[in-house]
Amino acid sequence: MTFRAYLWLMGIMTVVAWFGWGFVVSRIDPDEAGIIGLLIFYITLFAALIGTFAVGGAMYRVILRGRSEVVFREVRITFRHAVMVSFVGLVSLALSAKDWLSGWVLLGLVVGVGMVEYLFLLVQESHRN
């Protein structure tokens, strides 16, 4: 798949995910839907955030920074970062909804995700050698 095709496909699917999230927000009553409604809300938001960060990050890394030698590697790294940032955002939102979010909890979440990224970098470096 070419980089241009990746951007188009991810862009279209991101727009679909945002429309899905908007549909959930505007049409589903959280009191009536219960846990299924909340799961659909969080899943569609997670997909929309991943798509937004992945497309934006890939465009930034490849087009603006000019890292077009190994596009596949840049896209893979950007997608991994998009998943991690979306995870932090979603967990923060869920914790905030329960009034469990504090500065220390958010710091712990960010440090935990940072440690996961460090492990990915260690594994990636060991494959190069």
Residue 129 clears pLDDT 80, i.e. is over it: no
Residue 62 clears pLDDT 80, i.e. is over it: yes
Indicate the pLDDT class of residue 69, thresholds 50, 70 and 90. Answer: confident
Render pLDDT for 47-57 as a digit per residue (tens, 0 to 9): 999 999 999 99
Indicate the pLDDT class of residue 59, thresholds 50, 70 and 90. Answer: very high
Q: What is the mean pLDDT of residues 90-117?
A: 97
Q: What is the mean pLDDT of residues 97-107?
A: 97
d(CA 13, CA 7): 10
Render pLDDT for 77-86 as a digit per residue (tens, 0 to 9): 999 999 999 9
Q: Which amino acid is at 84?
A: M
User: Which pLDDT belongs to residue 127?
Assistant: 87
Render pLDDT for 10-43 as a digit per residue (tens, 0 to 9): 999 999 999 999 999 999 998 899 999 999 999 9
- Reading phi first (left if > 0) and then psi (alpha if -120 to 50, else beta), residue 34 is in left
Q: Whole-prediction pTM value?
A: 0.92
Neighbouring C-beta atoms of residue 39, cutoff 10 Å: 11
d(CA 116, CA 60): 23
User: Which pLDDT belongs to residue 70?
Assistant: 86
Q: What does the H/E/C string look like for the chain?
A: CCHHHHHHHHHHHHHHHHHHHHHHHHHCCHHHHHHHHHHHHHHHHHHHHHHHHHHHHHHHHHHHCCCCCCHHHHHHHHHHHHHHHHHHHHHHHHHHHCCCCCHHHHHHHHHHHHHHHHHHHHHHHHHHC
